[in-house]
Chain A
Amino acid sequence: MMPDGVHRHGDHLLDGGLDQAVVNALARTWSDPPSWTGALSAINHKTVSRRFMVTTFVFFLLAGLFALAIRLQLARPDNHLFDPDLYNQLFTMHGTAMMFLFAVPVMQAVALYLVPLMIGTRSVAFPRMNAYAYWVFLFGGLLLFGAFAVGSGPNTGWFSYVPLSGPDYSPGKGVDIWAQMITFTELSSLLVAIVLITTILKMRAPGMTLSRMPLFVWATLVTQFMVLFAMPAVMFGSTALILDRLVGTHFYNPANGGDVLLWQHVFWFFGHPEVYLIFIPPLGFISSIIATFTGRPIFGYPAMVMALIVTAFLAFGLWVHHMFATNIPELGKSFFTAASLMIAIPSGIQIFCWLATLCTGRIVLRTPMYFVLAFFFILVLGGLTGVMLGSVSLDLQVHDTYFVVAHLHYVLLGGAVFPLFGAFFFWFPKFTGRMLNERLGLWQFWLFFVGFNVAFFPMHWLGLHGMPRRVWTYPAGMGWETMNFVATIGAFTIGLSVLLFLINVVLAYRHLPGAPSDPWNADGLEWTIPSPPPPHNFDRLPVVRSRSPAWEENTSATAIGGLAADAREVLITSAVEAKPDLRVLFPTSSIWPFISAVATTVLFIGSIYTPWAVVWGSIPVSIAVAVWFWPDKNDTQTALSLERHP
């Protein structure tokens, strides 16, 4: 029996009613503790995600500054603005930070905020592990930038091919730090993948069957499974690299039975799926944004989901197309050409489903929509050059030229960064309770769009005219001057556009929060709760009956009640049908994930200097993790008082 009012279970206050005492208790229960130790102990998924997003965005800005430095160096021939070694560090830092510290983690960071809101729950699974993953990521990023700041940044490119990155050709600590940064970020990414998979499969609101899950959540789920299979390859590769460099193993040393192509295989077995780790989550952003600004659900939902899954599978069969210029068998190359072309099929299906949605809906043009429409334009161009590069004969001609640089920026910026900025505009009110300025947003968009094409379109031409990538400078009279100068102007236009975004954010923060819960008339559950959401997300957990719960007439017609409001109780549902199954007590805030991350950092960084750090460094890690796991007496009491056996 749950009539309106306050309900108790033993000493516990229960949720389900809208009584102020219950709502207050929920907010208190799910808040992060105050003070600075509290800040280090915070595990609320919104807090961790906000930190994650801000950290990745700061890395994005820094990596963007490196890009501007690169463009300054190339703006005119025979330029000596930076010396060659610093230039090598600049493009290595730019690529490494953009790929490992921004593009992949930012997608996970956004998902950590949105997924629980979209599926109607109060937390992510394993919130302490999630906090640990964030700290490990932060320390890995600081290690890389710290090393650059003291002059020992890596300088072998973002994929650090051996033998260049091996002990003979890259003495010094730069590559070791690069390889350990990989270990940090991949560890973090793998843990977040487990967090998100479990959250999505076990914590959806009752009624949100797999076939009602928002497309963004599908995209996130598919991506996290890819993380599980792709990241271990690069961890293996970078571990073998650092072992070659530090303890004299010979994995990549042909003089002693090793093989340099082994690196390329393991790196691209990760590296190609990685492109899709970056590209698939934005497909989810786009679906949310298009549905909202056309006022109708996405056309062909089952086809969209199938396309996501097929893309994920095919993504693992493409890695060799990065290696067409090596001595692998010709038959193998043909297979990978076929697989590379095949991926156009699921991508095409998605594009046509969105076009059908746009054609049959009533389009409202707001800033997020502009970014999405630009996605279509830019990604199609990047996709076409991708199909060209998938052909072995053409690839051999333009391998390692600016044509490839143009292609990858069209795919990554068009496929990921444009939709990501669209997503920031779209969900900014939900994250912060504040609206971004629409006019500034449009200025930012047009500067970005024009600047992007001015910067990168000439690079196709430069590549076809033989300009090699990563070249430090070039002599006058090669015919490359004008295009390089144009590209530099484009790059600074992008910089200006990003600056406008920062100004927009600062201006938004000068106002008091006042964004409505649903400023766009959108369809997802996240728009049924206040902006920003309270610590517990939902006063009353929803029950879902359709794919567009916020557009249903009677969204609040059914709710969940009976979970403790004064303890972190979470509803666990079945994986496919999302039927209520368990109520599980989640952990309270703890500083031990932070301490464990510090201990892990000591181990990882120590191991760059002495292999013995792996031995002595693992002792504090083990102790910290054991203390983290060891149950608190009070928490155990709470658990016992709520307990019910199956």
Chain B
Amino acid sequence: MSAESKDQATLPDEATTVLDVRHLPTFAFGPRSIMWWSTMGLILIESTVFAISIVSYFYLRSVASAWPINAAQPDLLWGTVNTGIMVLSLLPNQLAKNASERKDRQACAIWMTACLLCAIAFLVVRGFEFATLRVNWDTNAYGSIVWLLLGLHTTHLITDALDSAVLAALLFVGPFEPKRFVDVNESGMYWYFVVIAWIPIYGTIYWAPRL
């Protein structure tokens, strides 16, 4: 890796050779950073949770005689609108990510704020989504699992919104050091996960009952 190209002084110190690492950088992007590994770990865990929830949906469907159980199909409008907003939010997200790699603090702050506005928008629309599921969580198992799927994804939207808010605030006012660019970068990767994970959930909640 990059360390190989750096000049590493290896000089004898009595019996011991000391490999000098003071020239190494203090941060880096991607798999070189430990933040990348923790974000990937989180993504693996949460992908597993989503996968198990979706499999449980189809499991419950397989034991039901009709699906949806005693309920109308969910309304497509707000879920689809929200999918659109989420996909669009990938643009400011990517721009924030790019800005972090350029180490441009001001651009990071601006695009993180744009992301935050997107997050607020899709949280508001998410409220309408719950109202258009046309079933309650305590009606039957169908209602329970669609509320769980939507609720689970909503917790991710909320944590992502909080995370973006804190990072944006830090970019504007906080005691700043360049390794925060790595945080912005990883937060962007997590955002991709939250949006991409939504696509199969959207398909399951809104389209599976129509198949």
**Across-interface contacts of B147 in A (CB, < 8 A):** 249
State whether B19 touches A1 (Cβ < 8 A). Answer: no
Bitwise, A623-646 to B at CB < 8 A (1) or not (0) is 000100111110010011011111
Contact with B along A555-593 (1 / 0, CB 8 A): 011111111000000011011010111111100000000
Chain B residues with CB under 8 Å of A643's CB are: 26-27, 177-179
Contacts A16-B20, A198-B38, A630-B174 given: A232-B144 contact, CB under 8 Å?
A: no
Cα–Cα, bound, A202→B40 (Å)? 14
B88 at the interface (CB under 8 A from A): no
The distance in angstroms between the C-alpha atoms of A572 and B139, with both chains bound, is 53
Distance from A233 Cβ to chain B, minimum over Cβ atoms (Å): 5
**Residue in B3, B64, B175 whose beta carbon sits within 8 Å of that of A633 in the complex:** B175
From A34-42, A76-84, A252-260, the one touching the partner chain is A252-260
The answer, yes or no, to whether A11 is at the interface (CB within 8 Å) is no
Closest chain-A Cβ to B146's Cβ sits at a distance in Å of 11
* Residue interface mask A1-38, B partner, CB < 8 A = 1: 11110000100001011000000000000000000000
Q: State A190–B49 Cα separation when bound (angstroms).
A: 12
Tell me whether A582 and B28 are in contact in the complex, defined as CB-CB below 8 angstroms, given that A194-B38, A235-B49 are known contacts. yes
Quick check: which of A240-248, A389-397, A407-415, A416-424 contacts chain B, the rest being far away?
A240-248
Q: Is B196 in contact with chain A by the CB < 8 A criterion?
A: no
Q: Quick check: is A428 within 8 A (CB to CB) of the other chain? A: no
Interface residues of B in 160-186 (CB under 8 A from A): 162, 166, 170, 174-180
Contact B19 A259 (CB under 8 A): no
Name 22 A/B residue pairs within 8 A (Cβ), A-sorted. A3-B11, A9-B22, A17-B13, A194-B37, A194-B38, A229-B48, A243-B144, A251-B145, A256-B141, A257-B69, A262-B59, A557-B16, A558-B17, A560-B21, A571-B21, A571-B24, A572-B32, A582-B24, A582-B26, A583-B26, A636-B176, A639-B177
Given contacts A2-B9, A643-B178, contact A580 B21 (CB under 8 A): yes
Please determine whether B37 and A201 come into contact, CB atoms closer than 8 angstroms: yes
> Which residues between 209 and 241 of chain A lie within 8 Å of chain B, taking CB atoms?
228-229, 231-233, 235-236, 239-240
A298 interfacial by beta-carbon distance below 8 Å: no
Distance A243 CA – B10 CA, assembled complex (angstroms) = 62
- How close is B51's CB to chain A, nearest CB, in angstroms? 8
Q: Which of B2, B13, B17, B143 contacts A581 (CB 8 A)?
A: B2
Contact A197 B166, beta carbon cutoff 8 Å: no
Query: Smallest Cβ distance from A542 to chain B, in angstroms?
Result: 10
Is there an interface contact between B11 and A2, defined as CB atoms closer than 8 Å? yes
A560 x B3 contact (CB < 8 A)? no
Q: Are the CB atoms of A559 and B69 closer together than 8 Å?
A: no
Q: Which residues of A contact B (CB under 8 A)?
A: 1-4, 9, 14, 16-17, 125-126, 129, 190, 193-194, 197-198, 201-203, 206, 228-229, 231-233, 235-236, 239-240, 243-244, 247-251, 253, 256-259, 262, 265-266, 269, 540, 543, 554, 556-563, 571-572, 574-575, 577, 579-585, 622, 626, 629-633, 636, 639-640, 642-646
Query: Which residues on B are within 8 Å of A, measured CB to CB?
Result: 1-4, 8-11, 13-29, 31-34, 37-38, 41-42, 44-46, 48-49, 52-53, 56, 59-60, 63-64, 69, 103, 137-145, 147-148, 162, 166, 170, 174-180
Question: Are the C-beta atoms of A1 and B9 separated by less than 8 Å?
Answer: yes
Chain B residues in 8 Å Cβ range of A556: 15-16
Inside 8 A of A233's CB, which chain B residues have their CB?
48, 52
A582 with B41: CB separation less than 8 A:
no
Cβ 8 A contact of B178, one of A4, A257, A563, A645: A645
Nearest-neighbour CB distance to chain A for B149, whole angstroms, equals: 11
Q: How far is the CB of A643 from chain B (nearest CB, A)?
A: 5
Chain B residues in 8 Å Cβ range of A632: 175
Q: Which chain B residue shows the least CB distance to A193?
A: B41
Residues in A with CB closer than 8 Å to B21 are: 560-563, 571, 580, 583
Could you list 4 further interchain pairs (A-B, Cβ under 8 angstroms) beyond the known A1-B20, A633-B175? A16-B20, A258-B144, A580-B3, A646-B32
The residue on A at minimum CB distance from B166 is A626
Q: Is the CB of A584 within 8 A of B44?
A: no
- Kindly provide the distance from the CB of A585 to the nearest chain B CB, expressed in whole angstroms: 7
Which of B20, B41, B46, B148 meets A240, CB within 8 Å?
Answer: B148
Chain B nearest Cβ from A395, distance in angstroms: 23
A561 to B9, CA, bound (A): 10
What CA separation (Å) do A203 and B41 show in the bound complex? 16
Contact B11 A259, beta carbon cutoff 8 Å: no
Question: What is the distance, in angstroms, from B74's C-beta to the closest C-beta of chain A?
Answer: 16
| Pair A257/B141 contact, Cβ less than 8 Å | yes
Task: Assess the B52–A228 pair: CB atoms within 8 A.
Answer: no
Residue of B nearest to A265 (CB): B59
CA–CA, A14 and B3, complex, Å:
19
Interface contact B18-A646, CB-CB below 8 Å: no
Asked if B28 contacts A580 (CB within 8 A), the reply is no
Report the bound CA distance from A125 to B142 in whole Å. 42
How many angstroms between the C-alpha atoms of A269 and B24 in the bound complex?
Answer: 44
**Cα–Cα distance between A40 and B114 once the two chains are bound (Å):** 38
> B residues within 8 A CB of A640?
177
* Closest B residue, CB atoms, query A248: B138
> In the docked arrangement, what's the CA distance between A266 and B177, Å?
44
A179 to chain B, nearest CB (A): 15
Residues on A with C-beta less than 8 A from B177 are 631, 636, 639-640, 643
Assess the B144–A582 pair: CB atoms within 8 A. no
Residues of B within 8 A of A580 (CB): 3, 8, 19, 21, 24
Contacts of A630 in B (CB 8 A): 166, 170, 174
Which residues of A sit under 8 angstroms from B175, Cβ to Cβ? Answer: 631-633, 636
Do the beta carbons of B148 and A581 come within 8 Å of each other? no
Known: A228-B41, A259-B59, A581-B3. A250 touches B13 (CB 8 A): no
Known: A228-B44, A262-B60, A581-B2. A572 touches B34 (CB 8 A): yes
Instruction: Tell me the nearest residue of chain A to B8, going by C-beta.
Output: A580
- Contacting pair B27 A582 (CB below 8 A): yes
Contact B45 A559 (CB under 8 A): no
Give A189 to B187 CA distance when docked, in angstroms.
23
* Minimum CB–CB distance for B211 against chain A, Å: 18
Write out the residue numbers on chain B whose beta carbons fall within 8 Å of the beta carbon of A232. 45-46, 48-49, 52
Is B52 a contact of A236 with CB atoms below 8 Å? yes
Check if B142 sits within 8 Å of A257, measured CB to CB. yes
- Alpha-carbon distance A580/B2, docked complex (angstroms): 9
Assess the B3–A258 pair: CB atoms within 8 A.
Answer: no
A247 vs B138: C-alpha distance when bound (angstroms): 7
Which residues of chain A are within 8 angstroms of B2 by Cβ–Cβ distance?
A: 581, 646
Q: Are A202 and B24 also in contact (CB < 8 A) when A2-B9, A250-B138, A643-B178 are?
A: no
